[in-house]
Structure formats: C-alpha cells, structure tokens
Amino acid sequence: MYGEGDYFGQPVRLLRFQKQFLYWLYEYNPQTGERRFREALLEVPKGNGKTPLSGWVQLFELLGPPLFGPKGSPLIPVAAASFEQADLLFGDMKHCLRESPTLRHHVDVYDTEILVRNGPGRAYRVAAVAGTNDGQRPSSLAADEIHEWTGPKERVHLVLVNGMAKRANSLVLNTTTPGSDLDSMAGRKHLYGYRVNAGEIDDPRFLFVHYGVQDGAYDLIDEEQLRAAVIAANPAAGTFLRVDDVVARYYQIPEFEFRRYHLAQWTRADECWLPPGAWEACAGAVELDPERPAHVAVDMAYKQDSVAVVVAQLGDDGKVRVRAKVWTPKKGVTTIDVAAVDNHLRHLHRTLNVQTIAYDPAYFQRSAEALADEGLPMAEFPQGAGHMVPACQDTYRAIADGVLVHGDDPILTDHVLAAATRETDRGWRLSKGKSKRHIDACIAMVMAVFLALPRIEPEEVEPWFGFG
C-alpha cells in the first residue's frame, strides 16, 4: 500500500521503470542460486518515488519468501543521513504495513522498529549521526539519499556494510539524487558505477542505474527544450510526477539546484550560486528612508577575517535596498576594532528606523548584551542550517527576480560573488567553499534581506529571533 501522499492507502501499482529496476535487482546466478547483485545504487531525480521503492524492497526482504537459500533472521537497518530523512523511508514502510489488509497481521509496528510477529525478523531506523552500529549483522540495508552522507557519516555506511559480510546473500540498496561533490561516498559510487557499466571495472555484483540527462544536452533557456529535458530525465514524468510543476521550479531555484534535483546531474560544490548577470542587473541607487522600517545584520569575527554590517529596507515599490559597511584588520593587526562596529550600529539606530539588529551569538554576544541594554533591538540569528538555508534561498529569489537593489559597492559585490554553496541535511546554504576571499558582507546581507522581505506568516519567524 502507498504511504503518505496522494495515493495513501491504495494498492501499489509499479511503473515500468520500477519493474525494470526490480527485475535487475533480483537477478540470480543459475549456477549457484545466489543473488547476482549484492549492492545497488539507484540514482534518480527528486520526486520519482525512489524512497518508497526502497521501502518496498526492504519489506520484501523482511517478510517475503526466501529466494536465495535459507533466509535466517532478517535484520534490516533503514538508514539516512539524519533521523528526519530516515523517518521518510521508515515512515513509508510503516504506513504500507498498517494499511495492508494482509501484511499488518504479520508484524508489530513501533515508532523506530518493525518486528515480525511469531518469528525472527526486525527492521529498524538508523541515522548516520547516531554512532557506528558496530557488531550488527544486517541481511539487507536501505541507505537513502547517500549524497548527504558526508564526512564522519560515511563511516556509518562503511560499518553497516562491513557487518553484512557475515550474512549470505545480503543486499545493500543505496538510493540518492546527485550531489555536488564527486569526492564523497556518493560521488565515488557514482563514478564507480559508470566504470562498471562501461566494462572498465569487472564487478558483476554491483548494480548501477542512473536516470537523468547529460549536462548540455538541452538548452534550458528554451522552454520547449526545458520541458523535454524534464520528461527525458524523470521516468515518472506524466504519471505521479507533474511535469508542469517541475518546469516551474526552474524559474524559482538556482539553476545548478534544478539540474541536480530535477535533471539528476552532478554539479560542482563551488559553482556560482547566482544566475549569470543577475547580481549586476540589481545595481541601482540606494537611498534609505529614515522613516521606513529597516533591518540590520552583523557578520562578526575576531581574528584574521572581515566584519560586515548590512542594512536592508523594503520600499514602497516592493524592492529591498541593501547597503554594506565592511571592516578588515589593519596591516600587522589580527583583530577587528569591535568598538568601531558597535559605534556604527549605534549610528544606524539613531539615523534609521531600525527594527532588528540580527547577529550570530557565537561571536557577538558581549557587544549585543551591552547594546541591548542601551535600547538597541538586538536579535539572535544563529548561523546554523535551520536559519541560513531559508535565508539564503529567499535572498537568491530576491536577486534572481530583480527584487533586490544594491549600490554597486565593489566590496559587497566581491563578497557576494565569492560565496559558494554547501549542502546540508536541510538544503543548500552559502559558505566560502575553496575560495580564500571574504564573504562576510554576503552572509550579513542574506540575514538582513531575509528579515526585510515580507513574510506570509510572520508568526512562524517569531520564535527564531529575540535577545536573551
């Protein structure tokens, strides 16, 4: 049965590409009777049902008949880079069992595990942030969105797979959309899969299936070719995947994100985060009205870095005007003159109708407390993914749509164009990437613009900010 979504509770009807993948996945060696493939990587654009498909495979491994000799005691980790992502896959499995008129009588379903009733067998939820799971002997592993399994999270995958060597006919099913770093676990498996499929590497136990289109095969600026690219890349196009909705996303998100998520193309992590010419097109006169509400953001550092303060103000014309001031350490000095930054904030508070002065408490807490005591509207804006991901994406849309206006300040421009994207579990945000150039004014601008833009539901923002 389908889990959450438009088809909730209805019997599963596999599409042709899903059937084909299952035919490949369950091929066997007629001489030995064993599985042909022990590890698989399914790489497909977002929205094509790879997560539920992985869940159905794991339920078959848990409850289905033994196909390759004795089944033993099924032990199935259902894993992702975070508990939130793991819950999507594990939740689909739970809904499928609870809605099935036959399967639900054979299992006990709990929040974090599924137990086979009156027999051995267990599936359980795992996050790559939750230890290494040493000592387990999985019979099957579902590893979802492995492009997010970066850094220490790769070890969790390694340890789980190592434990599977102790089980006959075990199966590793990796599913993902492409990422932005080919020097990652997902990137290395992607390249390995292509080499296996090309015959460069003899590994008959590795199955690699990649649905997508090559970069440059379509001119995305041409709407007909854009639509054709979406249809060609997405095997579920025209069924439960609405082509018109995907095409519309091209105009709403950065192009590199569209190509990665919806065309299944790997993109560079340090690729420019803005469409060509978009920032330059936003240059114009910036006159701040002392009567209109203004929002200020500080990106602060103590040593060998720059400090930036950016003001953002929404005008009657619906455009957000930004102005930046940047401090860098003087020659031979490694620290910033924090007093000068504090005085500039006081000046802005005196001369403008400042509603908020946002700051990251990790670096500006002491000054913020003193300024708050003087009556300045200080507000914490931690620079974790939960705050910066939506702020970066809102600022991108403001620039791409021509809603933002900047004064063609060369320092602000350099900071903006030096920024690169970095993937997080919640989506992309901005960072320095491999560049050594400063991006502090860009980060402060993102914070200020996010505050200045009109919010559809302002009550949702309120818990994020506030001094204390």
Same domain, 254 and 283: no
Please list the rounded mean pLDDT of every run of 10 residues in the chain (468 residues): 64 89 94 92 95 94 85 90 86 89 91 91 84 72 92 88 87 93 88 90 94 89 94 94 94 85 81 81 94 94 76 95 87 73 95 95 88 95 89 93 92 87 82 75 96 66 39
Same domain, 203 and 340: no
Write down the pLDDT at residue 3.
59
Domain boundary among 188, 210, 232: 210
Helix, strand, coil shares of the chain as percentages rounded to 5? Answer: 35, 20, 45
Number of domains in the chain: 3
Determine if the pTM surpasses 0.85: no
Same domain, 146 and 242: no
Domain assignment present for 1: no
d(CA 225, CA 217): 9
Length of the chain: 468
What digits encode the pLDDT tens for the residues 317-369?
999 999 999 987 766 566 678 899 999 999 999 999 999 999 988 888 889 99
Domain assignment present for 24: yes
Domain assignment present for 272: no
Which domain CATH number covers 45?
3.40.50.300
Write down the pLDDT at residue 295.
97
Same domain, 458 and 425: yes
Same domain, 56 and 176: yes
Same domain, 360 and 396: yes
Which domain CATH number covers 399?
3.30.420.240
Tokens 């014309």 -> residue:
317
Same domain, 201 and 230: no
Q: Are 315 and 293 in contact (CB under 8 A)?
A: no
Write down the pLDDT at residue 463.
39
Element housing 440 (H / E): helix 440-452
Write down the pLDDT at residue 46.
94
Same domain, 233 and 363: no
Same domain, 370 and 457: yes
Domain assignment present for 271: no
Same domain, 320 and 456: yes
Domain assignment present for 215: no
Residue 141: strand pairing partners: 172
Phi, psi dihedral angles at 467 (to 5 degrees): -80, 145
Same domain, 27 and 170: yes
Domain assignment present for 430: yes
In one letter, which amino acid is 335? T
Question: Which one, of 26, 41, 264, 17, lies nearest residue 141 by Cα?
Answer: 41
Element housing 329 (H / E): none
Write down the pLDDT at residue 304.
52
d(CA 392, CA 430): 7
**Angular region, 332: left φ>0, alpha ψ -120 to 50, beta rest:** left
Task: Name the residue range of residue 70's domain.
Answer: 16-210
In this structure, are strands 320-327 and 404-406 parallel, antiparallel, or unpaired? parallel
Same domain, 296 and 388: yes
Domain assignment present for 268: no
Domain assignment present for 7: no
